[in-house]
Chain A
Amino acid sequence: MSNAAPARRRSLRERIGFRERIRDRDTAVYGILILLALMFPLVSYNITEGTAWISHATRAGYWVLLAIGLNVVVGFAGLLDLGYAAFFAIGAYTYALLASPQLASSPANHAVHISFWILIFVSLMMAALFGAILGFPTLRLRGDYLAIVTLGFGEIVPQLFYNFDQWTGGINAVGLIDQPLLPAWVQGPWSGDPEFKIVSPFNFNTDPVAYYVLVCFLVAIAVVLVTNLYNSRLGRAWMAIREDEVAAAAMGINTVTTKLLAFGIGASFSGFAGAYYAADVALVSPDNFLFIVSITVLVMVVLGGMGNVSGVIIGALVMYYLIFILIPGLPEIVTGFASNVGLGSLNQSTGDWPGLGEETQRLNFIIYGGILVAVMLLRPQGLLPSRVREQELKHAAVQEEEAAIEMSHA
């Protein structure tokens, strides 16, 4: 074969830039996200003088984590998981039970308090383990059956947390969950303090910004790891299975173990997010992990642009804003608007008319459903679809060079 100088081939590969080029858009998206993430605490404090925005951002963070994890399963490997919230629940309960007084009132009769920094890995492992247990017998099934199995699993898990109430408190939820501790922390204007100071030791419940910083770190780590996987042997194997399972197997890919890895890794992200969630809200109840959670994460992934990590992050943020800020806030906006334009009388409830605010609130479902349908119809590929690779080579020079090489081979 061609023994054309390896140095030249290498430079060629760099110029074609398989990796670099697709990162153009990603670099921009990530750059903007990092910038916003850095500025956010400071700005939100100065504007609102409160922590409402920060806690919104914190909560948006775990949705982002969930979406990144589900994207591995759905976007990369093409496996439809409709019970993703189950792994989230497993992660959250792992942390909640092992870092709260809960087990003192259980048959174990002994409260356990293990550090957050250890349990976050334990939660991750637990979720991955259950992912593997569920996946092992079911992943040889065709795609749609898997969706149905996961749907069933997602329905069973929260119900089990209800039913084993001796251990989990059932409907009463697990409360008083420990907060993460750190040896030291820096507070400053971003936490409402006019001056910098070092707090030591530091408990996360004293500063909401701490959770924000933590989730930003977790998201950043998740993005790096998932992007690494995407560009690896395993990532390509996932996509190959997504595109054509038979051909993938014929190329030597063990489809069962490869799918199991996608399932386990996806679940582990969910477990990781679950531990963080349990610490942040300090109260974990089975109601937090119903089918609607799985669906919401799926919507974030599909809406953002399946398979594309940066798109999925955007999708999660947009959907979070929509579901948890914009739509619940609509009644206030509408009544305020009505008062301002002199239609304040509409805000009162009279007879059958429940008042404009109430009426708007009742419209929530319709608005949300309508948005889902509309966005999918307008952009079936998602907001930021996966541009797996550049479709055309940008550099004519490279093309010519390749053509020349081909000629010489012919």
Chain B
Amino acid sequence: MSEQPRDNILELTGLTKRFGGLVAVDNVSLHIKRGEVFALIGPNGAGKTTLFNNVTGLFRPTSGNVLFDGRDITGFKPHQVARLGIARTFQNIRLFDYMSCLDNVRVGRHVRMKAKVWDSLFKLPRERREEERVTDEAMEVLRFVGIAKHANQYARNLAYGQQRRLEIARALATEPKLLLLDEPAAGFTPQEKVELMALVKKILNRGITVFLIEHDMKVVMGISERIVVLDHGEKIAEGSPEEVRNDTKVIEAYLGKSA
């Protein structure tokens, strides 16, 4: 653990989130290196999604800090976090149902667009040019995740797997430096899981760091370089897939103490 701070894209120090008496995330510190795939695992209710929500500004941490790209973003609003370069997907897919796939992705481009109200109101040439460019870029992203032919369909009409892809596409459209995937393989067939792993590799090749929550151990072990295990809000293990797999605390957490 002797990396220079600049090598870390995300650092959490002593992150704690309480809801009333319940401590959902308890003093968790971790750091994610630029360009790696980092996985967060743990039994149901371990506080994984809450941790995501604290990073993306949906919740304000009770205490502790979130450092992104060397900048303290603790307590930032979600849209500010997105602007700085963190994008995410949701555990229960949250697409814009009654918008086309293309528009879903174009919403993702929002944060990188410049058009002001006046530009749009009068459709000034620069707005027109930007729209054309953004449409091309959005199609490019749809192609990247492999659902371009559904561009004109309502998001709600896509098959489940395609919806997951669309959500990733939408997140990618914000040009993130760090992509948070919340159980991207949930409900996938083995074939789809293989495809997802390929997609994550492709995303990594674009220079985007990936931070994922996943239950499926095949996926986790297959793509992540480092893993943190959370149980009851606390970090109980950290390390490479092999180290984590052989950690007694982890085995206990998953199988129960009696094991």
In the complex, the answer to whether B149 meets A406 with C-beta atoms within 8 Å is yes
Q: Which residues of B contact A402 (CB under 8 A)?
A: 143, 148-149, 151
Dominant secondary structure at the A interface: helix
In the complex, the answer to whether A2 meets B79 with C-beta atoms within 8 Å is no
Please tell me which stretch of B3-11, B82-90, B186-194, B247-255 contacts chain A, meaning at least 4 of its Cβ atoms lie within 8 angstroms of it.
Answer: B82-90
Task: Given A252-B111, A409-B146, check contact A232 B99 (CB 8 Å).
Answer: no
In the complex, the answer to whether B79 meets A255 with C-beta atoms within 8 Å is yes
Please tell me which stretch of A211-219, A235-243, A270-278 contacts chain B, meaning at least 4 of its Cβ atoms lie within 8 angstroms of it.
Answer: A235-243
Instruction: Indicate whether B120 reaches chain A with its CB closer than 8 angstroms.
Output: yes
Nearest chain-B residue to A404 (Cβ)?
A: B149
In the complex, the answer to whether A249 meets B77 with C-beta atoms within 8 Å is yes
Q: Which residues of B contact A406 (CB under 8 A)?
A: 143, 146, 148-149
Q: Which residues of B contact A35 (CB under 8 A)?
A: none
In the complex, the answer to whether B95 meets A244 with C-beta atoms within 8 Å is yes
In the complex, the answer to whether A228 meets B121 with C-beta atoms within 8 Å is yes
Instruction: Indicate whether A229 reaches chain B with its CB closer than 8 angstroms.
Output: yes
Q: Which residues of A contact B100 (CB under 8 A)?
A: 18, 388-389
Please tell me which stretch of B41-49, B63-71, B152-160 contacts chain A, meaning at least 4 of its Cβ atoms lie within 8 angstroms of it.
Answer: B152-160
Tell me the complex Cα distance, A251–B117, Å.
Answer: 19
Instruction: Indicate whether A246 reaches chain B with its CB closer than 8 angstroms.
Output: yes
> Which of B94, B96, B131, B152 contacts A393 (CB under 8 A)?
B152
Instruction: Indicate whether B162 reaches chain A with its CB closer than 8 angstroms.
Output: no
Tell me the complex Cα distance, A248–B95, Å.
Answer: 9
* Residue total for A at the interface (Cβ-Cβ under 8 A): 50
Tell me the complex Cα distance, A252–B79, Å.
Answer: 4
Contact residue range for chain B?
A: 35 or more
Instruction: Indicate whether B243 reaches chain A with its CB closer than 8 angstroms.
Output: no
Q: Which residues of B contact A6 (CB under 8 A)?
A: 136
> Which of B56, B120, B121, B153 contacts A391 (CB under 8 A)?
B153
Task: Given A235-B120, A388-B99, A406-B148, check contact A10 B136 (CB 8 Å).
Answer: yes
Nearest chain-B residue to A236 (Cβ)?
A: B107
Instruction: Indicate whether B127 reaches chain A with its CB closer than 8 angstroms.
Output: yes
Q: Which residues of B contact A390 (CB under 8 A)?
A: 152
Tell me the complex Cα distance, A244–B58, Å.
Answer: 14
Instruction: Indicate whether A322 reaches chain B with its CB closer than 8 angstroms.
Output: no
Shortest beta-carbon distance, A405 to chain B, in Å?
6
In the complex, the answer to whether B83 meets A252 with C-beta atoms within 8 Å is yes
Shortest beta-carbon distance, B236 to chain A, in Å?
28
Instruction: Indicate whether B26 reaches chain A with its CB closer than 8 angstroms.
Output: no
Q: Which residues of A contact B97 (CB under 8 A)?
A: 243-244
Tell me the complex Cα distance, A303–B83, Å.
Answer: 38
Binary contact track A246-273/B, C-beta < 8 Å → 1, others 0: 1111111111000001000100000000
In the complex, the answer to whether A232 meets B120 with C-beta atoms within 8 Å is yes
List which A205-233 residues lie within 8 A (CB) of chain B: 225, 228-229, 231-233
In the complex, the answer to whether B154 meets A391 with C-beta atoms within 8 Å is yes
Q: Which residues of A contact B78 (CB under 8 A)?
A: 246, 249-250
List B residues at the A interface (Cβ < 8 Å). Answer: 56-58, 77-79, 82-83, 87-88, 90, 94-100, 102-103, 106-108, 110-111, 113, 115, 117, 119-123, 127, 130-132, 134-136, 139-140, 143-144, 146, 148-149, 151-154, 157, 170-171, 174
List A residues at the B interface (Cβ < 8 Å). Answer: 1-2, 6, 9-10, 12-13, 16, 18, 21, 225, 228-229, 231-237, 239-240, 243-244, 246-255, 261, 265, 386, 388-393, 399, 402-403, 405-406, 409-410
Contacts A246-B58, A250-B90, A405-B148 known; 20 new A-B pairs at CB < 8 A: A6-B136, A10-B136, A12-B139, A13-B135, A13-B139, A229-B117, A233-B130, A236-B110, A244-B95, A250-B56, A251-B110, A251-B170, A252-B111, A252-B174, A253-B79, A254-B77, A388-B99, A389-B100, A393-B153, A410-B146
In the complex, the 5 A-B pairs of residues with the closest C-beta atoms, listed nearest first: A252-B111, A232-B120, A252-B82, A389-B100, A243-B96
16 A-B contact pairs sorted by A residue (CB < 8 Å):
A10-B132, A10-B136, A228-B121, A233-B130, A233-B131, A243-B96, A246-B78, A247-B96, A249-B82, A251-B82, A251-B108, A253-B107, A265-B117, A389-B102, A389-B153, A409-B143
